[in-house]
Amino acid sequence: MHLHILGICGTFMGGIAAIAKELGHTVTGSDSNVYPPMSTQLESLGIELFQGYDPSQFDNEPDIVVIGNALSRGNEAVEYVLDRNLPYTSGPQWLLENVLKDRWVLAVSGTHGKTSTSSMLAWILEYAGLKPGFLIGGIPQNFDVSARLGETPFFVIEADEYDSAFFDKRSKFVHYRPRTLVMNNLEFDHADIFDDLSDIQKQFNHLLRMVPNNGLVLLPKSDNNLRKVLDLGCWTPVQYTGGDWQVQNCNAQGSAFEVMFKGESQGIVNWDLIGEHNVNNALMAIAAAKHSGVKSNVAIEALRQFVNVKRRMEVKAKVHGMTIYDDFAHHPTAIAYTVDGLRAKVGEARILAVLEPRSNTMKMGVHKDTLAGSWDNADQVFIFEPSNLTWSMDDLLAQSKVTAMVYTEINHLVKSIVSYAQPGDHILVMSNGSFGGIHELLTEQLEQLNK
**Residues 347-403 pLDDT 10s:** 999 999 998 887 666 666 666 777 878 889 999 999 888 777 777 777 777 788 888
pLDDT tens digits, one per residue of 218-248: 999 999 999 999 999 999 999 999 999 999 9
The pLDDT score that the predictor gives to residue 395 is 72
Homologous superfamily, domain 99-303: Mur-like, catalytic domain (3.40.1190.10)
CA nearest to 161, candidates 120, 123, 107 = 107
Specify the CATH number for 314-447; select among 3.10.129.10, 3.30.70.260, 3.40.640.10, 3.90.190.20. Answer: 3.90.190.20
- Domain 2-90: what homologous superfamily? NAD(P)-binding Rossmann-like Domain (3.40.50.720)
The residue type found at 1 is M
* Residues 12/91, Cβ–Cβ less than 8 Å: yes
For residue 355, give the nearest of 380, 377, 391 by alpha carbon: 380
| Interacting residues of 409 by C-beta distance below 8 A, sequence separation 6+ | none
What is the domain partition of the chain in residue ranges?
A: 2-90, 99-303, 314-447
Q: SS3 for 41-96, per residue? A: HHHHCCCEEEECCCHHHHCCCCCEEEECCCCCCCCHHHHHHHHCCCCEEEHHHHHH
Predicted pLDDT of residue 6: 98
Which of 321, 319, 287, 318 has the alpha carbon at shortest distance from 303? 287
Task: Report pLDDT for 350.
Answer: 95
pLDDT of residue 282: 96
Q: Which residues contact 22 (CB under 8 A, 6 or more apart)?
A: 148, 149
Greatest alpha-carbon pair distance for the chain in Å reads 66
- The strand ranges marked E within 188-255 are 216-220, 238-241, 245-248
Q: How far apart are CA 333 and CA 286, in angstroms?
A: 23
Average pLDDT, 10 consecutive residues per value, the chain (451 residues): 95 94 96 78 90 96 96 97 98 98 96 92 97 90 89 96 94 96 88 84 95 97 95 96 95 92 96 88 97 97 86 83 85 84 88 84 67 87 82 76 87 90 92 81 84 60
pTM of the model: 0.81
pLDDT at 34: 78
